[in-house]
Amino acid sequence: AQTVTQSQPEMSVQEAETVTLSCTYDTSESDYYLFWYKQPPSRQMILVIRQEAYKQQNATENRFSVNFQKAAKSFSLKISDSQLGDAAMYFCAYRSALKFRDDKIIFGKGTRLHILP
Amino acid sequence: ETGVTQTPRHLVMGMTNKKSLKCEQHLGHNAMYWYKQSAKKPLELMFVYNFKEQTENNSVPSRFSPECPNSSHLFLHLHTLQPEDSALYLCASSQGQGPLDTQYFGPGTRLTVL
């Protein structure tokens, strides 16, 4: 079974600085998708960024980028120029690409990110 | 606002009560989901509906009973719950069930079982 591990329960970063959130996963599959979700204090979870495992290029969405290391099964999220609105719980997640309908997203336990003004 | 609403936002109930959680999506999606979010545990998928048909029941106890009358509405009926069922219950929807179909989440219902 696949697992997702986020080893940092909490992190803090100074406003305008860069922070990296770690995520590792375990799978025997070669084709899958990885995600980072953000859950702000209002609790509405949103998708931040997605990476297809077959793509070597790291995904980027504005100030958010990932470092995808397939061999190491590592998928870290870098937030540049941190803003107060980035304060949230961040979840790393995995989904197999082998089954179209019947597979589910597997989430890590999350990392709570604090932004220091 | 992501277009997925949940009511109530907070619910306190005794173990003998019967209550229902409601989710509504205004995005024209075909798939809807119930998740349970407990403190210090990963988000757990409970149920999936696609075109009103249940496509997944993730070994959820029968004291949780889902209902999906149409593609826009999803209910979770609760009865004889246990204190360990206290959690944040999240609803989500997506266009389809594929991995590229982004799930849009509601704000959740914070449930406390006394």
Residues forming a β-bridge with A105: none
Does A101 have pLDDT greater than 70? no
Mean pLDDT to the nearest integer, A10-15: 97
Minimum Cα–Cα distance from B33: chain A residue: A104
10-residue mean pLDDT profile of chain B (114 residues): values are 87 92 96 93 91 82 94 95 95 89 93 95
Does A97 have pLDDT greater than 90? no
CB < 8 Å to A50, chain B: 100, 102
Q: Do B105 and A44 touch (CB under 8 A)?
A: yes
Does A102 have pLDDT greater than 60? no
Residue A99 pLDDT level (bands cut at 50, 70, 90): low
Among A4, A107, A109, select the one facing B40 at the smallest CB separation: A109
DSSP for A56-98, please give it.
-SPPEETTEEEEEETTTTEEEEEE-S--GGG-EEEEEEEEESS
Q: Do A43 and B48 touch (CB under 8 A)?
A: no
* Lookup: tokens for B2: 């992501």
Give the whole-angstrom CA distance, residue A95 versus residue A93: 7
DSSP helix/strand/coil, B73:
strand
Q: Please tell me if residue B48 touches chain A, with a CB cutoff of 8 Å.
A: yes
Give the whole-angstrom CA distance, residue A74 versus residue B98: 23
CB < 8 Å to A101, chain B: 50, 55, 97-98
pLDDT tens for each residue of A31-67:
899 999 999 987 799 999 999 999 989 999 999 999 9
pLDDT tens for each residue of A22-32:
999 999 988 89
What is the structure's pLDDT at B2? 53
CB < 8 Å to B99, chain A: 33, 95-97, 100, 103
Minimum Cα–Cα distance from A6: chain B residue: B42
